Structure 1
Amino acid sequence: MTFPVRVGVQLQPQHAPDYGLIRDAVRRAEDAGVDIVFNWDHFFPLYGEPDGAHFECWTMLGAWAEQTSNVEIGALVTCNAYRNPELLADMARTVDHISGGRLILGLGSGWFQRDFDEYGYDFGTKGSRLDNLGESLPRIANRLSQLNPQPLREIPLLIGGSGERKTLRHIATHGNIWHAFVGVDSYRHKSAVLAQHCADVGRDPAEIERSAEIRFDGDVAAMLKFADDITAEGVTLLTVATGGPDYDLTAVEALIKWRDARAG
């Protein structure tokens, strides 16, 4: 299966004291031609002032579903531990309908201990969180199949992470999109591990879209060089992050021009 090269932006819902700043960033990103707009599922900022302004993920996705017309939307990623799997399936189906069938369901096992501790979730261990994710995935799929009305499409399931024993196995078994934080060499290795897991479960690894974070430190040329190198390896979805309050889209706009130039 061949996937088109796409550009995503993660609008991190932190350090924006006025939600209007996020709403404006979504509008600017869609107008610029981005393919997917993501947020994240945390309760506190991950960098900068630790008690700075922050907004919740899924209520925001409902607003984005109404605000936007063309882009896909989703969380990069939803923490599996924060919501009952059946409830999450129903939330995803609802946002899918509000958006007209543009939701991507991004999932991960969670890692930010402050979120767990302050909101009363059991942090457990990395292994137990991954096991819980594995238990939730079929429950989510089963609930989606029972909902009335049904989702408007088979909602793409994006799973974040690259742990070789559990995460990549979950992706091989359930995922439509694999998102990872990788370099070229690490991607080659992890992709080979994923291919072996796919063989073990009888799945073609070419069915799984490959997604990677692309970092921007102010050097556009270096960012685009990485984009060239990682897409040459088979990654087709590149997502760059930006946070509040300014939501600078310089990197996103450069990636969109790069994408369009590749398409001719």
Structure 2
Amino acid sequence: MSLGARVATNLPYLRRYARALTGSQATGDAFVRETLEAALVDEGLRRMIGTGRAELYHVFNKVWSSGFVDTGVVVAGEGSHEAAAQARLSHITPLNRQALLLTTLEDFSIDEAAFVMDKEPSEVEALVQQAVQEIDRESTTTVLIIEDEPLISMQLEDLVRSLGHDVCGMAATRTQAQQIVAETTPGLVLADIQLADGSSGLDAVDDILKIGSVPVIFITAYPERLLTGDRPEPTYLVTKPFQESTVRAAISQALFFGSSRPLA
């Protein structure tokens, strides 16, 4: 397999991680692009990114750390959402969220995350614990669950309530979601993309975002349908089957950045 093919296999997941880390599709994609550009001019980095997934993330971490700490990179064109996200990040050290995302959203082991971050495993474990404590301090909100599988819907409901949030409704179709939103505006949406009656969770979310800005987390067994690069893509994406810790981390990130935008 060629170097390009090996990197391409892991690239959609690196883009997902970068977007969750930065809270922005444009900023996350910019850091991924800088990573690939750095590898083009450095033979050592180029060899490393083709070695494996952890190595690719390791190179990305070097670019992210340099860009965030030293230059304060801000990508224009994101408006008030990007400005607000960068303002929050300027006051909060990102390492704890980075450790949590690597070990939950990206499913790296503690040792692998330590390699990615250039930290000792004990340091990463401590950072994850700090992130969990930060999640526990998040303000409560109301959550709409758009999911057509009853068992998964109930699992998400239990998880959301265990985090101290309220569930304002559970919808299995786009029409049901419209009915719920007509009565109450959620503070967060958890949505599948393929619903019971053949309707689309993407369309249901677009309906909601036309009313107001609400953070959205997509939870789907088909992430490749959203990570194509052909259209604006979601910042927060969890793959089924999921770990509850992954959803928990995504909820924390989504509430931290506090807004979303339509997908089309």
When normalised by structure 1's length, the TM-score is 0.30
When normalised by structure 2's length, the TM-score is 0.30
Structure in which a larger fraction of residues adopt strand? 1
Higher relative contact order (CA 8 A, sep 6+): 1
